[in-house]
Amino acid sequence: MPDDLDAAGAAAILSLVDSRFPGGGHAHSGGLEEAAARGLVTDPQTLAGFLRGRLHTAGALAAVFAAAAAHTARNLLSPPAASRADTNGVGEAEFARATGNGHGSTGRRQWTALDAELDARTPSPAQRAASRAQGSGMARAGRSAWPSPVLDGLLAATPRPHQPVLLGALAGIAGASPTQAALAALYLAVSGPASASTRLLGLDPFEVNAAVVALSAPMSEIAAHAAQTCHLRPADLPAPSAPALDLMAEAHDRTHRMEVRLFAS
Amino acid sequence: MKARARLVVERDSGGASVVRELRSMSPLTLLPCPPSLHDGDPDTALVHLAGSAATPLGGDVLDLAIVVGPGARLRLVGVGATLALPGQHPGPSTMSVTIEVGAAGSLEYLTEPTIVVSAADHHADLRADLAADARLRCREVVVLGRSGERPGAFHSETRLRRDGTTLLRQRLDLGGALDATPTHLAGHPVIATELLVWGADPAEAAVGDWWSLVPLAHGGSLATVLAEDTITAYRRLDTATAAHPGLAEPAAAVPVSG
Amino acid sequence: MPADHTTGHGHTHPVSFDPTATAPDPHAPRAEAGRAVRIGIGGPVGCGKTALVAALCRALGDEVALAVVTNDIYTTEDADFLRRAGVLDPERIEAVQTGACPHTAIRDDITANLDAVERLERRYPGLELVVIESGGDNLTATFSRGLVDAQVFVVDVSGGDKVPRKGGPGVTTADLLVINKTDLAQHVGADMAVMVADAHRMRRHRLPVITQSLVDTPDAPEVAAWVRARLADAAPSGAA
């Protein structure tokens, strides 16, 4: 998306996906710890399958909401002029009208709707909790780095936001495009579990890194798809799901209460 | 083949649930069962949904609309497994089910397994809109391939709303290379789900060996099961739903005058 | 040995890998009115952090509204020990997961610990002190100043008397260095005089060092006194 790939937005994306970004992500394995405990991930090959599956499901869902949140944040910062040709089809103007978008709007209805719709696409309570823990962790870091009335509005509407929504909002506030926000969500969806695999299974970090890089093509493909849906009403956003990941998230949560594991999810 | 079937159940002045409208179209055959012929709750309408052999085929578009009026109760039970097959016509087979349940109404929609045979491409779409105090119990079992067979593709989209709020929205894309991954089906050929908006929701998740019953964020709950075979799937589904507090409650009596 | 309280009051020190770096912290302490004083307890595995936390709970529990955050590695061992010890209402103990990186959770990405501290502050309005115990790590693991107001680094004599000499930011810059388990010195051939002298030298004779044995003084009176002084520092002027 060279049209809106500006330097400030790209730099924000680099910061958001940096493993040293202090948003609390390092304590989450995205289900990898449970998969490893069950012997489903043992080596670089099984890790590659895990990452690919996660990218197309949980990753794709995060990408959809990150792109939509980036789009929302950008619109709140500079509402599309009514007379401007609508490049995204009828949805854009309709969305703006339906949500009372415009200067001075805090976006409360947009943020609340995105939050509720992502809830509805996340049946596992453990995954909802992990998403909100990482979202509020990211918000803490985001308030320092990208202070904005748009961020204040999001946090007023949803004090413990889902991570993809918060990630997308920060990206949008920093000037990144919905595609870039989706890419960031996809990268985080696999880089976290990949990093956890080096800590839990002692996998060769070069092979693990290669497994993440090998997903570049599907990552950009899924990001482009996510960007195409970013202007839809939140209720109409896609909802890819991962049944085994959902089940493992609940099992991990239960194990937590009996014998604490290394990762929060 | 295009087929549209429609079933409307309403509550009559005597408190009984009666079939007001019934339109079958092969292969969607709706068979009401009079209260005298079954030993279930006489105030709940019982209807069987029978498919026909060898449907849906690729290119088939099947549409089933179910409307349960205020205070009415319907139990719609599938008869026999459905085989999703490839067809001579281009395009996938699709089965769309739309459900509306009015105030204090209830619907149990309990289908038999859908078996996705080799080279099939089946899309299953379920949209349910519930009034604020309506009840829904909706069970679906999908088997990927007959024994030892490489399955076709199965895509489903589930949308459950209550009083305008989305409770669940979920898309499943099965039958591809992702099935074997630890995140998707972890190699299991059978997935079963039961959607429950039925009285009290579970306070917290119940979880066991490849099953869980989880409370949804905005009400309702979802049981999900993965299994090696349908017998195990049903057993796990029963274990999961046994943890549901609402199913244990007696159905609330609806006043006749209401 | 008494704590060296002649210097250092009210000062905080940056984390530095230069063992000789003990210059005053150019950053002002993050004083937020009305929140609890946060004190970190760090140090290598087995040095006695959890026992020290239990001792502080016993010593201060009756006079200070306090709570504890533990950073266990992969069990609830530390949190369970504290709960079993009965030194504190179990509800006042929060355990956080560190994703196999105990130093990350207290230094590079303090999110999970801040969340735990804030949960405790919400649960107990008027909370005065939160003790954050790190997971056992190594000599370079120190707390971020974004997480704690002051930190204690604990080493013990059983690792040998050369430990303070090895330096590292824990030994050189922690607001208080505790040399623990002095009762074992004779058994492991550790020379206490050497350890203490090295410790003071590494800390430029400006930061306090306490030696203690919880066998001899189970309530850690000197460390408790140091903590009281930190609470007094943080109190609004006139109320101390």
Do A and C share at least 3 CB pairs under 8 Å? yes
Residue B209 lies in a domain: no
B13 contacts: CB under 8 Å, gap ≥ 6: B256
How far away is chain B from the Cα of A250, in angstroms, using its nearest Cα?
7
B partners (3+ CB pairs within 8 A) are A
| Average pLDDT of chain A, as a whole number | 89
Domain layout of chain A by residue ranges: 7-76+106-258
Residue B103 lies in a domain: yes
Other residues' Cβ atoms within 10 Å of the Cβ of residue C28: 7
Written out in words, the top-level CATH class of the domain with range A7-76+106-258 is: mainly alpha
**CA distances to A28, A47, A89, A197, A255 from B183, in Å:** 16, 11, 35, 15, 18
At A7, is the pLDDT very low, low, confident or very high (cuts 50, 70, 90)? confident
Residues A260, C115: C-beta atoms closer than 8 Å: no
For residue A258, the model assigns a pLDDT of 67
Residues C109, A25: C-beta atoms closer than 8 Å: yes
d(CA A196, CA A37): 12
> Which of B52, B57, B54, B42 shows the shortest CA–CA distance to B12?
B42
C145 contacts: CB under 8 Å, gap ≥ 6: C12, C14, C15, C25, C27, C29, C30
Of A22, A137, A264, the CB nearest to C97: A264
C86 contacts: CB under 8 Å, gap ≥ 6: none
At A1, is the pLDDT very low, low, confident or very high (cuts 50, 70, 90)? very low
How far away is chain C from the Cα of A51, in angstroms, using its nearest Cα?
18
Q: In chain A, which residues touch C (CB < 8 A)? A: 20-29, 133, 136-137, 140-141, 196, 199-200, 256, 259-264
How far away is chain C from the Cα of A99, in angstroms, using its nearest Cα?
32
Residues A23, C110: C-beta atoms closer than 8 Å: no
d(CA C221, CA C227): 10
For residue C75, the model assigns a pLDDT of 63
Asked if pLDDT for residue A85 goes beyond 80, the answer is no
Domain layout of chain C by residue ranges: 36-231
B152 contacts: CB under 8 Å, gap ≥ 6: B84, B86, B116, B117, B118, B119, B120, B121, B122, B145, B175
Residue B95 lies in a domain: yes
Would you call A23 helix, strand, or coil by DSSP? coil
A83 contacts: CB under 8 Å, gap ≥ 6: none
Domain count, chain B: 1
**CA distances to B235, C38, C93, C150, C233 from C125, in Å:** 48, 15, 15, 21, 20
Q: Is the preceding omega at residue A22 within 30 degrees of 0, hence cis?
A: no
* Nearest Cα residue in chain A from C79: A260
- Judge contact between A262 and C100, C-beta under 8 A: yes
Greater pLDDT, A84 or A81 = A81
- Judge contact between B83 and B70, C-beta under 8 A: no
Q: Which residues of B touch A124 (CB under 8 A)?
A: 205, 212, 214
How far away is chain C from the Cα of A227, in angstroms, using its nearest Cα?
30
Q: In chain C, which residues touch A (CB < 8 A)? A: 72-76, 95-101, 104-105, 108-112, 114-115
Q: Which residues of B touch A114 (CB under 8 A)?
A: none
* Nearest Cα residue in chain A from C104: A26
Residues A22, C112: C-beta atoms closer than 8 Å: no
Per-residue pLDDT of chain B (258 residues; tens, 9 = 90+): 899 999 999 999 999 999 999 999 988 999 999 888 888 888 899 999 998 767 789 989 999 999 999 999 999 999 988 889 888 888 899 999 999 999 999 999 999 999 999 999 999 999 999 999 999 999 999 999 988 888 999 999 999 999 999 999 999 999 988 888 999 999 999 999 999 999 999 999 999 999 999 999 999 999 999 999 999 999 999 999 999 999 877 655 555 543
- Choose the mutation target among A57, A128, A160, A215 for the interface with B, i.e. most B CBs under 10 Å: A57
Asked if pLDDT for residue C26 goes beyond 70, the answer is no
Q: Which of residues 214-253 of B touch A (CB under 8 A)?
A: 214-218, 222, 224, 226
> Which of A74, A71, A56 shows the shortest CA–CA distance to A230?
A71
For residue B38, the model assigns a pLDDT of 81
Backbone angles phi, psi at B116, to 5 degrees: -95, 100
Residues A264, C115: C-beta atoms closer than 8 Å: no
**CA distances to A82, B67, B234, C97, C176 from A98, in Å:** 14, 29, 44, 42, 59
- Choose the mutation target among A190, A233, A247, A248 for the interface with B, i.e. most B CBs under 10 Å: A247
Summarised one tens digit per residue, pLDDT across range A162-195 is 999 999 999 999 999 999 999 999 999 999 999 9
The domain made up of C36-231 has a fold known as Rossmann fold (3.40.50)
B247 contacts: CB under 8 Å, gap ≥ 6: B137, B196, B198, B199, B241
Q: What percent of chain C has pLDDT over 70?
A: 83
Q: Which residues of A touch B194 (CB under 8 A)?
A: none
Q: What is the ipTM of this complex?
A: 0.93
Residue B243 lies in a domain: no
